[in-house]
Amino acid sequence: MFSSNVCALDSEPLMLRPNGEDGTCGSNNMNLGRNIGTLAAQYVTLSGCQPNEVLDVVRQRARSGSRADGHRVALVVEGGSMRGVYTAGSLVALHIMGLWNLFDNAYGASAGAANIAQFLSGMGDVKADSYYRVLADGRFYNPHRVSKIVDIDFFADEVLTKLRPVEVDRVMASPTPFWVSVADFVTARTVLFHAQAGDLPLLQILKAATAMPIFYNKLIELGGVRGFDAGFTNPFPLLEALAHENTHVLVLLAAPEEYTSPALTARELALIASRFARGNSQVGRMFEEAASSCDRLRDLAHGRTRSAFDSKIATIAPVSASVEMTTQDPELLRSALLETARGTLRLLGHPEDRLDELMHAGKL
């Protein structure tokens, strides 16, 4: 189990500095070149630090079916409740390319962790429809159900177990180590669990990773950790991927490149203090600092700042921001998934035939 400070972007060895003057970091969408054409740019953007080199390695692994290239390639996935449909779409594209067992490490937070579990099982192409066929009918999100506005019990104990079950044995047998980010109420830190270590049930780890404060407002016991959704303060475990010395990192985000985290209002902070933190000042401080911490993390992902590590980062983000954390429009959710899947395929130069087949067969 690996621990890190929550979004500790200014701590050694993750010191940030402005991006280089060599043109290799930042947005790659004004200079589309061979990596992202006009058709892809309709749906996704590409940014990061030397993102072309990351995409080249990913393409080569898809072509060869091997990861014996001397690189350590990591996959980092954001969630964000229903906004996780965007990263689910990009993962469908990676599945179609045959990449589900070709990453050296995979890291997920919140719904992004659940998305990765489906991806690593090799069944991600037929499970991604859960966002609009299972989670958008009032059972998962119900604003009138005050005690449990977002029902994580339904998500973990019904959706991931019965309705769109995670193939646990396949995930545990995956050659890709799977790391799940969970916030610990006791220490007010992010803890990274190696999901295949066997110490704790995979579905229990995923339940903790998605246990949203206030909306669900329960803590999930994971050994000595009292876990909850880390996505509010550490939306994607990029820092952890860098600390593990991955040489190439592919980041899939659920928010557009220009997105900035809204600061919590005094009223919202008071609600968190009274209903969730309940005297734990360190947890309260996590939420007070969440917006600035998460924006610094996004700056790193998009190449606006750089870490002290010499890792190459490619970040794929949706153009659209139409899906929000609690969106319940099935057609909108389906469109978002298909758009990011199609945009990611185009970005990586892969045919879209299989995606069309899945659509026409009613699987997506």
Tell me the C-alpha to C-alpha distance, in Å, between residue 192 and each of 76, 222, 269.
13, 12, 26
The count of other CB atoms within 10 Å of the CB of residue 68 is 7
User: What local confidence, expressed as pLDDT, does residue 305 receive?
Assistant: 95
Question: Other CB atoms closer than 10 Å to residue 356's CB: what's the count?
Answer: 13
pLDDT at 25: 82
Q: What is the pLDDT of residues 66-120, one digit of tens each?
A: 999 999 999 999 999 999 999 999 999 999 999 999 999 999 999 999 999 999 9
- Output helix, strand, coil percentages for the chain, rounded to the nearest 5: 40, 15, 40
Residues of the chain with pLDDT under 50: 1-16, 20-23, 30-35
Predicted TM-score of the model (pTM): 0.93
State how beta strands 248-252 and 312-318 pair: parallel
pLDDT at 39: 74
Task: Pick the closest to residue 6 from 263, 163, 239, 319 (CA basis).
Answer: 239
Sign of CA dihedral 35, 39, 40, 44: positive
For residue 28, what pLDDT is reported?
63
Closest to 250 measured CA to CA, from 106, 93, 35: 106
Q: What is the pLDDT of residue 40?
A: 78
The pLDDT, as a whole number, for residue 29 is 54
